[in-house]
Structure 1
Amino acid sequence: MLTIVAISLCYFVFAVLLNSVGTVILQSITSFDVSKTDASTLEGFKDLSIAFVSFFVASFIPRIGYQVALCLGLAMVAVVCLLTPLFAEFFFIKILFATIGTAFALVKISVYSLIGQLSVDTKSHSSLMNTVEGIFMVGVLSGYWVFSGFINADNPASIEWLNVYYLLGGLIVLAAVFVYFAPIEREPFVPHEAGALSEFTDMLKLTYQPLVLIFVISIFLYVLVEQGIGSWLPTFNREVLGLPVDISIQITSIFAAMIAIGRLLAGVILRFVPWYIFVNGCLVMMFLTIILTLPMTENLPHGVVSGIFDAPLAAYLLPAIGLFMAPIYPLINSVMLSALPNQQHAKMTGLIVIFSALGGTFGSILTGTIFETFGGQHAFYMSLIPIVMIIISLYLFKKLSAGPNKNCLQGA
């Protein structure tokens, strides 16, 4: 139980840090006077760091031990968080997110691998995966309110909001204490028959399997949609809906709340509904939410919004897409990982992290570029294309997972 608490606390803290990128993009535009295109690169500093580190260390983490990897990642971020308010420049915000991404690569691979060790079958794996991911979204939800609490509503351009990183640095230290005392295997796991280079090569070989290739494409497309919407929703609320900065951030917490609720509910619903039917239903509802809600954001009357309850209806309906988006990522990850033996989980998680990071970077930069060039509505309408592509890719994934390709994974 202490191990579950430790990994959940790690995920909670990193949820606040990772998903603060939307808030930090808005505040960087406001406080540091950077363009939307420049601000969108923060997603790249975060996600490309995740991808780069995962690519090179995924097969090595079991050798140094999951506890060491978790403590190392937490220590790195704690130091940079405490330095961020002292530098108070956009260049150091980039360093901050690069460090967060580097550390999260260590944390995510360790956490996903530990979930495999703590699970006895596919159902328990899926249940624990959704619970941990649900806690992650609770952290995301909390983060919006924590950051908005440090923003000066009378002077949004002030850099006072950077003081939030002192609080976050303290939480990271607390998480490190829990990890240190958790009964996680301290001795590194070393395969007898393979070296580090061989394990790294094995991770790359997984992508040659058609089932794995379709899977990572699905992951890439999903994260493209989630990060494209999630990272730019605060700016959408500010510039399209005309909300004040602090309320723009607070109301974005609905998006995180819907994802948290959706992931926690998915663990119950999936006991009675086949995963493929459930995921497709979620994707259809995502599509409908966008095409029905975005027209409501056009030609809104200009009024004074002094509180969260003064916001237009569209400000509440658009973030509700998170409820349907919620189960997709942990569910397809669980389906893929539970089809593999435990010793391959770290390598597969490395691929998950890499393609998630690439999808997040591309989604945020693409959305930011379209936002700046054509406006917020056009940027969000573009997410309909990858949603349709996910439906197609999951059909191929389901078809391949029922065929002989699944058996090939056991020897990959």
Structure 2
Amino acid sequence: MSKELNLNKNASESNIRMLTYLMFFMFAMTSDAVGVIIPELIETFNLSMLQASAFHYMPMIFIALSGLFLGYLADKLGRKSTIIIGLLLFSVASFMFALGESFYFFLFLLAVIGTAIGVFKTGALALIGDISTNAKQHSSTMNTVEGFFGVGAIVGPAIVSFLLVSGVSWKFLYFGAGLFCLILCWLAYRADYPALKRSSNQSINLASTFKMMRNPYALGFSFAIGLYVATEVAIYVWMPTLLLDYQGDYIFLATYALTIFFTLRAAGRFLGGWILHRFPWQQVMMWFSLAIFLCYLGTMWFGIDAAIVLLPLSGLFMSMMYPTLNSKGISCFSVDQHGSVAGVILFFTALSAALAPLFMGWVSDIFGHVKYGFYLATGFAFLLFLLTLFNLLRDPAAHLLASE
């Protein structure tokens, strides 16, 4: 009987893991296709780069607000209910893209989608903590989750590119995502989720989330993730615009630069668990952040020909940064706080993803070329390296992650 129960538990956890992987795949299909959609929006609606970047920062702002103000729902209502609510809201908003042709109507729908993502993503992030036995397994699972995210980031832009070449509106990407989301919602409803464990009698509400905002470990990991996200979104939001008019010797690489970036990022994330089992995560984060900074620095120093090689290459080094920092930050807290801390981290993640491209677009408009925005991104990469160097030398969260 005990063996049968263990088999059922393992099968249930495997189903939940796959469902979580597919949720992140679906999320990436829409969010990381923005860089391909933005040039189309600029032409269709006669927008500046700063205005067009709203298509990226609008959902990110609402992901941030949703993570901060609704993240506690994963701890209060449970992971399953929270995930289903978020998926349903995402699906409805995606289908509504077929009803309008206004840029501002699209921004409204993206705000709704951002809210939905904030809800189901905090539930999913908390769920990963539930089914992980220790911080090391948590990091390994997060890297696999983000690997599926990376695959979705390849598929989404490829779908949009195919649609545009075929003369079909990019809006069909959202229609397909809405259908996929309904399927995920049904699978989530049928899945057998683990019971939520309580380690204290502390009330779970919005106040508990704001209390988490004052925790130095939650803030420290959130700041590091924010810097990482600022360096990553620079590439998938603005690199297509940077390379748009390139006519040099590496035209093939320039055409597929974003696909190469996403492919290397996805491949690296699937390798993340293997690497983190063999090397201390503090060393991996420091060396990889240094490599990212050098890719940006080389781009700024040697120009557009170097950018075609170095910016996509940075995806390999970016691959393990976000899932590892995210999992370590969440693992610093008890299971019944995972929803709240995931919401706080998601707030800073999405806020950075919203503001960094916005500032890059603003700087690019001021100086007249998108390359100047990448100078700002190089600064973000340098600050991230300094923070990971500090973490390697001081290791401030060692006592909280000792169970690894």
Alignment TM-score, normalising by the size of structure 1: 0.85
Asked if 1:339 corresponds to 2:337, the answer is: no
Alpha-carbon separation, structure 2, partners of 1:10 and 1:248: 30
- Structure 1 residues 159 and 32: alpha-carbon distance in aligned structure 2, compared to 1, 3 A threshold: farther
Q: Percentage identity across aligned positions?
A: 27
Q: Aligned with 1:238: secondary structure?
A: coil
1:103 paired residue among 99, 102, 116: 116
Name the residue aligned to 1:150.
163
**1:123 Cα offset (Å):** 2.0
- Structure 1 residues 314 and 212: alpha-carbon distance in aligned structure 2, compared to 1, 3 A threshold: closer
Alpha-carbon separation, structure 1, partners of 2:321 and 2:31: 19
> Within 5 A, what are the aligned runs for 1:284-323?
284-294=290-300, 297-298=303-304, 314-323=307-316
Task: Please say if residues 215 and 397 of structure 1, whose CA atoms lie closer than 8 Å, have aligned partners that are also in contact.
Answer: no
1:114 paired residue among 127, 145, 150: 127
1:361-389 CA distance string (max 9 Å, x none): 11110111122232122221222211221
- Structure 1 residues 196 and 189: alpha-carbon distance in aligned structure 2, compared to 1, 3 A threshold: same
Asked if 1:357 corresponds to 2:366, the answer is: no
Name the residue aligned to 2:10.
none
Aligned residue pairs, count: 387
Name the residue aligned to 2:26.
13
Asked if 1:54 corresponds to 2:54, the answer is: no
Name the residue aligned to 2:8.
none
Amino acid at match of 1:193: N
Name the residue aligned to 1:160.
169
Name the residue aligned to 2:274.
268
1:89-139 CA distance string (max 9 Å, x none): 211221222122111111211111111111111221111111011111111
Alpha-carbon separation, structure 2, partners of 1:271 and 1:16: 29
Name the residue aligned to 2:140.
127
Amino acid at match of 1:116: G
Name the residue aligned to 1:306.
none
Name the residue aligned to 2:259.
253
**1:294 Cα offset (Å):** 4.5
- Structure 1 residues 401 and 313: alpha-carbon distance in aligned structure 2, compared to 1, 3 A threshold: closer
Q: What is the RMSD of the two structures over their aligned residues, measured on CA atoms?
A: 2.8
Asked if 1:394 corresponds to 2:388, the answer is: yes
Task: Please say if residues 253 and 308 of structure 2, whose CA atoms lie closer than 8 Å, have aligned partners that are also in contact.
Answer: no
Name the residue aligned to 1:382.
376
Moved more, 247-256 or 116-125: 247-256
Name the residue aligned to 1:325.
318
Structure 2 residue runs without a partner (length 5+): 1-13
Name the residue aligned to 1:279.
285
Name the residue aligned to 1:303.
none
Name the residue aligned to 1:305.
none
Task: Please say if residues 198 and 335 of structure 2, whose CA atoms lie closer than 8 Å, have aligned partners that are also in contact.
Answer: no
> Within 5 A, what are the aligned runs for 1:14-53?
14-53=27-66
Structure 1 residue runs without a partner (length 5+): 299-311
Q: Aligned with 1:120: secondary structure?
A: coil
Moved more, 134-143 or 262-271: 262-271
1:180 paired residue among 180, 189, 203: 189
Alpha-carbon separation, structure 1, partners of 2:164 and 2:290: 37
Task: Please say if residues 216 and 355 of structure 1, whose CA atoms lie closer than 8 Å, have aligned partners that are also in contact.
Answer: yes
- Structure 1 residues 289 and 319: alpha-carbon distance in aligned structure 2, compared to 1, 3 A threshold: same
Alpha-carbon separation, structure 2, partners of 1:149 and 1:177: 29
Alpha-carbon separation, structure 2, partners of 1:343 and 1:286: 35
Amino acid at match of 1:194: Q
**1:64 Cα offset (Å):** 1.8
